[in-house]
Amino acid sequence: MLKVVVVGNGMVGHHYVEQLVASDVEAQITVIGGETRPAYDRVHLSEFFAGRSPEDLALTTRDHYRELGVEAHFGDMVASIDRDTKTLTTESGKQFAYDKLVLATGSYPFVPPVKGNDLEPCTVYRTIDDLGTIQAQATGGKIGVVVGGGLLGLECANAVKNLGLETHVVEFAPGLMGVQLDGGGSAMLRRKIEALGVTVHTSKATKVIEPDAEGEARLRMQFADGSSLATDMIVFSAGIRPYDQLAKDCGLTVGERGGIEIDYHCKTSDSDIFAIGECALFGGRIYGLVAPGYRMAEAAVSQLTNEVVPFQGADMSTKLKLLGVDVGSIGDAHGKEAGSVAYTFSDERIDVYKRLIVSADGKKLLGAVLVGDCSDYDTLLQYFLNGIALPADPQTLILPYNAGAAPALGAAALPATATICSCHNVSKGDIVNAMDAGFCSLAEVKSETAASSGCGGCAALLKSVVDDELASRGLEVNKAMCEHFNLTRQEMFHIVKVESIKSFEELISKHGSGRGCDICKPTAGSILASLWNDYVLEEKHVGLQDTNDTFLANMQKNGTYSVVPRIAGGEITPDKLITIGQVAKKYNLYTKITGGQRIDLFGARVQHLPGIWEELIAAGFETGHAYGKALRTVKSCVGSTWCRYGVQDSVAMALYIENRYKGLRSPHKLKSAVSGCTRECAEAQSKDFGVIATENGWNLFVGGNGGMKPRHADLFATDLDDETLIKYIDRFLMFYVRTADRLQRTSVWMGTLEGGLDYLKQVVIEDSLGIAGELEEQMESIVGSYQCEWKTTVEDPEKLKRFRQFVNSKAEDREIIFVEERGQPRPATDAERKQLLAESA
Amino acid sequence: MSTDVLVAESQPINLCMQGDLIPNSGICAELDGEQIALFYLPNESPQLYALGNWDPIGKANILSRGMVGDLDGRLVVASPMYKQHFDLLTGECLEEAEISVPVFPVSLFGDHVMLCL
């Protein structure tokens, strides 16, 4: 049998073994891995400090290799290769004979040759063992420095940050991720990363590392520009170097700056020896990403079969989350091609940067840079990889939606060769074939083709391809809300209304199956509240509410809640301000002014919520419904009462609107604002419905929102009197409540209405459906049955039982721990909490 | 502490009364500093389920405040923090197979909710 020896058991070496086992080649496979562990997922290494164990990261196990009949040796390095006798010897003295040898030795971290780089605690970031070292060195330290601002360096910074250290990134070059990003993208990435509390130092050449004489920390880095930085530990992650010593020693051709030279077949200068992954040099280039490494492994395996697949270089486009920041880079990010044209969009309010590089004739996409928002990545990558002709105005591909952007490239427009999943190299054609073979559901397609089972970045694209194929085959696209109801929210709303259904139990027994889940239950709860407005904590509804609705407060990351009393229109008396201050002091709450002109009180323990509210209610406050999918706030400017420019009393109108619709349960949260003149200080055009005063009355705007995808509202009607304004808002809101899908904001909902804004005007203004009276009536009944849920709760001892931390003791949750910051409490980080708990124990 | 320990000579400990339970929802009890989330599903058999209250993913004592339901026929509670589902019978996390929370044997004895260690 053919003896194949694979040296190196990283991700690429392991992929080679898997591919070879899956092929029909009869081979006796031996694996020699330098690390003590079988292959693991190095791409997600930094998640180790976010709680993933080595087992979570493992790609295989010793047992699994045994089952496959693969002989595996770990923790042993190959010392030499004898090409004449075709044998190799390991450091522990073992000898292996081979017919075909595969070098997948990978790379090692480059440590800049700086004096003091070998001091304790300096280390590198490459293996799970390195992580152990980093963790040990971080213990007792406060500051950590990562040398290197590339992809790996920033991954590593994430790891250091997760350890709770004050994190610095020191980069020699002028910008972060210089390989993948242009100057603008790099600057935006820096802004975002610094906003996360990581300090970035660029253009910093480290001269020497020495013990910190000033005693501030363990070490001090002296830079060439005369500045210095104290740190308790240093991790080098400034690039990689191919492990090619073995190849050099046995006389294989290696590149001038390292890397084992290979041809299209991944063969080295010895045709019985292959090199794949980061140790290999192809076309003068090292491919430092996992996907090209996999392609090399597949090409090398194919050499042993009858179906030869050459390696032809690989696309280095990449999309990833670094420190939680979305970063994408496609093709020629730097616009190096002669005559290329660039389009740049940058929005510093929301920290988004996008750049397109387009060919001189404007027809082809050559490259792209995305920072802060990668939602266009899939579409752009398809344009790039498949050479699809660009629209006449390519800039529309990166402009925000409401500026008239081109719609995302539909799945139907993609050619069969288009790569959908680059991790597993699945094309649209592969997906269509799988569906032809009868694997029609998304789950079936996934398990049949392995698409979207790697990084998962193509999940949305895969779904749209499958949906599009289903639709084109005349099959029904499954719009079911969840496994319990084969209904959309709109259909459920109609059923509940028409059949006068009053409880979830009745609904699921008549129209669903099973017991329900956290998708359908709150949807049903919201519909029941929209239609019948029962107290949300009635026993039959309790199980339908998620925790925020159950406890009438918003859960925060340590399990405590935030409390937001209603401050209608942002108007508040000094006495009420004092009450809020007193309550916050008494219960040790963190206070912050919200964007909706209210005051948010954070850090309330569940057992304190009723006490807090008793005091707030006594001072005249009501619940602010910040916890509900409901009307939140109606923001206002000060209006004609005080302002020299105001033309109407915007505060009075805001108060009226907020008090009218407060508590209205809806498919998603609702926000509003009223401005007293066209200067628009209340920002009404960014709200679900906004009102702007004119000389003659009010202009109504609908369908705006802030958030992730901001959208300006559309002008709906002009110069309305008070009564007509309220009538239109009643109809608009109730029509939305009735027909929108679950978690659909008004803007998206309007987009789904056939005929859009004009249709909505017909329904609301002209009453084209003949339902206006009904909508108004329904709103009137909800307005009439309003109750402050907190008032109802604090008056009912039975309901208050729900707010006990423990049903059987008065103890507090000792794992809720606060520390002080800027004179206020904040939740302890995971590391602080553990330490404080250990100290108290 | 696992269900395996439930043997004839166990000594049930009173946690609370049946009236403290909330149908189709959860509450939290404490025993020697350990937090136990109790779920009462009157239409199921058994009617009572107990998990550790600590959410290992959300890192807070909150599972008792999650919504209960079923997925693929398994009774589950959804963490109110990041919405992962935990099997009420086994404590396994449905989204992350390696993660699980402890399960406690509980039962109703008359009006008393007892932990049977």
A643 is annotated as contributing to ligand binding? yes
Residue A402: pLDDT over 50: no
What's residue A577's pLDDT? Answer: 97
Smallest CA–CA distance from B62 into chain A, residue: A559
The string of pLDDT tens digits covering residues A688-706 is 999 999 999 999 999 998 8
DSSP 8-state assignment for residue B100: B
What's residue B2's pLDDT? Answer: 36
The string of pLDDT tens digits covering residues A160-171 is 988 889 999 998
The string of pLDDT tens digits covering residues B18-68 is 889 999 999 999 988 889 999 999 888 888 999 999 999 999 999 999 999
Distances (CA, A) of A415 to A294, A385, A412, B100: 24, 11, 8, 44
Helix/strand/coil (H/E/C) assignment for every residue in A772-835: HHHHHHHHHHHHHCCCCHHHHHHCCHHHHHHHCCECCECCCCCCCCEEEECCEEEECCHHHHHH
A&B contacts, CB < 8 Å: 112
What's residue A199's pLDDT? Answer: 95
Strands of chain B (E only): list them: 12-17, 25-31, 34-40, 48-52, 54-55, 60-61, 67-71, 74-78, 85-87, 103-104, 106-109, 112-116
Place of tokens 């044998």: A87
Residue A813: its chain B contacts at CB < 8 A? 35, 61
Identify the structural domains of chain A with CATH numbers, from first to last: 2-108+242-302 (3.50.50.60), 111-238 (3.50.50.60), 489-545 (no CATH), 632-784 (3.30.413.10)
Residue B5: pLDDT over 50: no
Residue A221 or residue A179, greater confidence: A221
> Is B25 at the interface with chain A, CB within 8 A?
yes
DSSP 8-state assignment for residue A513: -
Residue B1: pLDDT over 50: no
The string of pLDDT tens digits covering residues A494-504 is 888 888 898 99
pTM for the predicted model, two decimal places: 0.53
A463, containing H or E segment:
helix A459-472
Place of tokens 């056939």: A754
Give the pLDDT band of residue B8 (cuts 50, 70, 90).
very low
Residue A453: pLDDT over 60: yes
B80: closest CA of chain A, how far (Å):
6
Residue A133 CA to its chain's centroid (Å): 29
Tokens of A38: 């079988």
Over the Cα atoms of chain A, what is R_g?
31
Residue A180: pLDDT over 80: yes
The string of pLDDT tens digits covering residues A18-29 is 999 988 899 999
Residue A557: its chain B contacts at CB < 8 A? 58-60, 81
Residue B117: pLDDT over 70: no
Torsion angles phi and psi, residue A795, rounded to 5? -85, -5
Pick from A544, A813, A830: which is nearest to B61 by CB?
A: A813
Place of tokens 């997600």: A44
Across A174-183, A565-574, A587-596, least confident range: A174-183
Distances (CA, A) of A562 to A525, A556, A626, A793: 22, 7, 9, 17
What's residue A537's pLDDT? Answer: 63
Residue B75 or residue A319, greater confidence: B75
What's the CA angle centered on A482, arms A479 and A485, to 5 degrees?
85
Residue A595 or residue A423, greater confidence: A595
**Using omega within 30 degrees of 0 as the cis cutoff, is the peptide bond preceding B46 cis?**
yes
CB contact under 8 A, A804 and B58: no
User: For residue A93, which amino acid is it?
Assistant: G
CATH homologous superfamily of B22-108 equals Rieske [2Fe-2S] iron-sulphur domain (2.102.10.10)
CB contact under 8 A, A521 and B67: yes
Nearest to A184 by CA among A342, A317, A316, A331: A342
Place of tokens 């397109």: A356
Smallest CA–CA distance from A803 into chain B, residue: B27
A637 is annotated as contributing to ligand binding? yes
Residue A308: pLDDT over 70: yes
> Is B70 at the interface with chain A, CB within 8 A?
yes
Pick from A55, A483, A520: which is nearest to B98 by CB?
A: A55
Q: What is the mean pLDDT of chain A?
A: 89
For the segment A803-821, the average pLDDT, to the nearest whole number, is 92
